[in-house]
Amino acid sequence: MSDQTLLQMLEESRYTTVLSGAGMLLESGYPAIRDGAEAYDLEQKYGYAPEEIFTGSFYSARTEQFFEFYKDVILGVIDTPPGKCFYEMAELERKGLFQMIVTRRVFGLPERAGCRNVINLHGNIYNNHCPHCGKRYSVDYIRNAKRVPLCEDCKTVIRPDVCLYGEMVSNQLITRAAEEVAKADVLLVLGANLKSYLCSHLLPYYHGEKLIVINSEPHFSDKYADLAIHRRVDDTLEQIRKELEN
């Protein structure tokens, strides 16, 4: 199917919910720390796999090692701007094609690119708090701490407002995301396959008319989509925008 057909599906949609996956992160030059060579290199450097370090138990028991990893690997990339895919997504939202964006990624890339309606299921690195007194802290405060970031008032270790590996996602956020998927007549999956964690947990709530996948890599689950496009997200969204403007 052509980009024009895809655009027609989106224009005819009364409510489109977008599921933004890891592929958009990779297109923006951000790491996929659980995958392949990246995960192996991190384990060689830190002595533990990312799934071991980026956990609540590591945060509590090996706090200094946790923040060494967190500041170097997670916060070390945040000066990289959002990729074109996020700016194109924000522009299509402004033009009324997308009503809600749901993501598990914690870097705040949709908002930084200008998206307004975003559900961050796993939180956001730009939000941090003191677990004892509740005082809020910026990401720069965490990044600039010499070692472990402590609360200025009560000296408690500050907690990033992100969902660490093994932790449960907030029921409130899951409910919101499920409601957004349920009321969509078009569900657009960007940079993920339908068996990814994000999709597999939310697809049961979808009862709309068109399920569309845009992902670089083909996947056996594409057969469940009404339309599957195997191309970079940024190039595809850019083409949709140009078709819309024409």
pLDDT more than 90, % of the chain: 87
Q: Where are the beta strands (DSSP E) in the chain?
A: 16-20, 100-103, 118-120, 123-129, 136-137, 159-162, 186-190, 210-214, 227-229
| Phi/psi of residue 35, nearest 5 degrees | -110, 135
State the amino acid at position 146 in one-letter form: K
Phi-psi region of 102 (alpha: psi -120 to 50; beta: other; left: phi over 0): beta
Whether residue 110 contacts residue 20, with contact meaning beta carbons closer than 8 Å, is answered with yes
Res. 43 pLDDT band, cuts 50 70 90:
confident
Cα distances from 219 to residues 87, 100, 147, 210, in angstroms, run 26, 25, 43, 18
Which 3 state secondary structure label does DSSP give 103?
strand
Please state which of the ranges 25-34, 64-73, 229-238 shows the lowest mean pLDDT.
Answer: 25-34
Dihedral, CA of residue 156, residue 159, residue 165 and residue 171, to nearest 10: 120
Could you give the residue numbers annotated as active site? 122
Assigned token pair, 216: 């670089």
Neighbours of 153 (CB within 10 A): 11
pLDDT tens-place string over residues 19-38: 999 999 999 988 767 655 67
Q: What is the pLDDT of residue 2?
A: 57
Neighbours of 220 (CB within 10 A): 9
pLDDT tens-place string over residues 148-165: 999 999 999 999 999 999
For the packed helices 84-94 and 233-245, what is the interaxial angle rounded to 10 degrees? Answer: 30
pLDDT tens-place string over residues 174-225: 999 999 999 999 999 999 999 999 999 999 999 999 999 999 999 999 999 9
Q: What is the pLDDT of residue 41?
A: 82
- The Cα–Cα gap between 160 and 120 comes to 14
Instruction: Name the β-bridge partners of 215.
Output: none
Pairing of strands 159-162, 123-129: antiparallel
Global confidence as pTM: 0.93
